[in-house]
Structure 1
Amino acid sequence: MLTLTCPYCGVKADETELSPGGEAHLKRFGPGASEDDFHDYLFSRKNPRGLHFERWRHSYGCGKWFHAARDTMTLQVFGTYPAQSYAPPKDIVKAIKKSHPDWTWEASE
């Protein structure tokens, strides 16, 4: 069972208290964007095997959205952080680098 800690209220919750929100850190497109860019934003999502950044909502708790960094193959959770963050915090990056030494952060992830 997947267990994540809400970065807002500090509650360690299992997946029955949470609602998945899909891929995190998507580049959003507004008015004036090409149809291809908008189409990709709506319908194209990564579904990687391994390291992945996801959005979750603490539905049966504080109700807030947050991001989680985890490995989809091992279910190892590297950490959670507020949804308003543009990049994972340094402690999470350090934890990821331990398991994935070649990994680097890219803003488009």
Structure 2
Amino acid sequence: MLLIQCPWCGPRDEIEFSYGGEAHIARPQDPSQLSDAEWAEFLFMRTNTKGAHKERWNHAHGCRRWFNVERDTLTYQIKRVYHCDGTPVQEGK
């Protein structure tokens, strides 16, 4: 089980969190202007990174806030946790 460092609540077990997908995806300004193919590309096509991968997580059974995690997909080791605006999280919180 992963131990995830919530920026607001501190370290918690993985079961308290919900995975939110790949981080840093550019959201369309006006989705209604996209073709079906462009909308499908945005919704479904993601990188399948082997190694360091940036992800969004939500502390669903805690503070309910979103944050980003950089995790190695081979070892599951969490390299860093940071706020959605890019601000690093202090260790030991």
Q: What is residue 29 of structure 1 aligned with on the other side?
A: 28
Unpaired stretches in structure 1, ≥5 consecutive residues: 90-109
1:55-90 deviation digits (Å, cap 9, x = unpaired): 10011111101100010101111111112x2x575x
Matched, 1:3 2:3: yes
Change over 3 Å in CA distance of 1:38–1:88 after alignment to 2: farther
Q: Is the partner of 2:16 in helix, strand or coil?
A: coil
Q: What is residue 49 of structure 1 aligned with on the other side?
A: 50
Unpaired stretches in structure 2, ≥5 consecutive residues: 89-93
| Percent identity for Structure 1 against Structure 2 | 42
**In structure 2, distance between residues paired with 1:80 and 1:66:** 7
Change over 3 Å in CA distance of 1:73–1:60 after alignment to 2: same
- The number of equivalent residue pairs is 87
Change over 3 Å in CA distance of 1:42–1:23 after alignment to 2: same
- What is the Cα deviation at residue 34 of structure 1? 4.5
Moved more, 34-43 or 14-23: 34-43
**In structure 1, distance between residues paired with 2:87 and 2:48:** 19
Provide TM-score, normalisation by structure 1.
0.69
Aligned Cα root-mean-square deviation (Å): 2.0
Matched, 1:20 2:19: yes
**In structure 2, distance between residues paired with 1:37 and 1:30:** 13
Contact 1:20 1:55 in 2 (8 A): yes
Contact 1:29 1:37 in 2 (8 A): no
Provide TM-score, normalisation by structure 2.
0.80
